[in-house]
Amino acid sequence: MPRNWPDVLGDIAAVFHFGAGEIWEMDLDEIEFWHAQAVRLHE
């Protein structure tokens, strides 16, 4: 489980331009997937 939710959700929103409504509909697995993709793209 992510330790810093605001950073995780902010990363997803900034990289993929998801809106707040889209992010809030995601379950934990989806959030972890998209955050991992955001981190991968910034490596």
Q: What is the pLDDT of residues 4-42, one digit of tens each?
A: 999 999 999 999 999 999 999 999 999 999 999 999 998
Q: Is 27 exposed, middle or buried (0-12, 13-18, 19+ CB in 10 A)?
A: exposed
Between CA 37 and CA 43 the distance in angstroms is 10
First to last CA, the chain: 21
* Side-chain-side CA neighbours of residue 23 (13 Å): 19
Q: What is the pTM of this model?
A: 0.84
